[in-house]
Amino acid sequence: MRPMTVTTKVAALVAVLALAVPVAGCGRRAADRDRTDSPAGHQETTVTTADPRAAEDALDELDALLGDVESALTEADAAPADED
């Protein structure tokens, strides 16, 4: 491969810089947008939606409790009356 001349090297460097600056700018703009969209930036629009997760958790816990009830009643029914 032929060695690059000084002119070629400078041209290559300029080309690289020309590409790098806009890319970096893009990054900054994206970062800025992220910051302003964040809750700290107070620009986020809050949309209230029905989030059923709390209810789902409560129903799951209810199922677990009903399992405990079932076990306790089964144990009560299985206990011997003996000769009392």
Partner 1 sequence: MGISTRICLASVLAALGVVATAAPASAADPLSDLKAAVTARIDLRLAALEKDLVTINAAIHLTDEHRSQLSTVVENATAGLGELTTSVADRTTLAEVREDAASMINDFRVFLLVGPQVRLTVAGDAEQAALDKAQEAHDTLATRVAEKKAGGADTTAAETDLAEMQTAIDGARADLAGQVEALLAVVPGPDRVGIQNSVATVRLSLGSARVDLRTAAAEGRSVLAFLQG
Tokens, residue 43 = 């620009």
Site string for partner 1, 40-79 (x = CB under 8 A): --------xxxxx-xxx-xx-xxx-xx-xxx-xx-xxx-x
- Shortest Cβ distance from residue 43 to partner 1 (Å)? 23
Contact between 14 and partner 1 by CB under 8 A: the answer reads no
What three-state secondary structure class fits 33? helix
- Shortest Cβ distance from residue 42 to partner 1 (Å)? 24
Q: Which is nearer to partner 1, 40 or 75 (CB)?
A: 75
Sign of the CA dihedral running 15, 16, 19, 22: negative
Tokens, residue 15 = 């080309």
Tokens, residue 84 = 């009392």
- Can you tell me which residue has the tokens 């800025």? 32
Chain residues that interact with partner 1, rule: CB under 8 A: 48-52, 54-56, 58-59, 61-63, 65-66, 68-70, 72-73, 75-77, 79-84
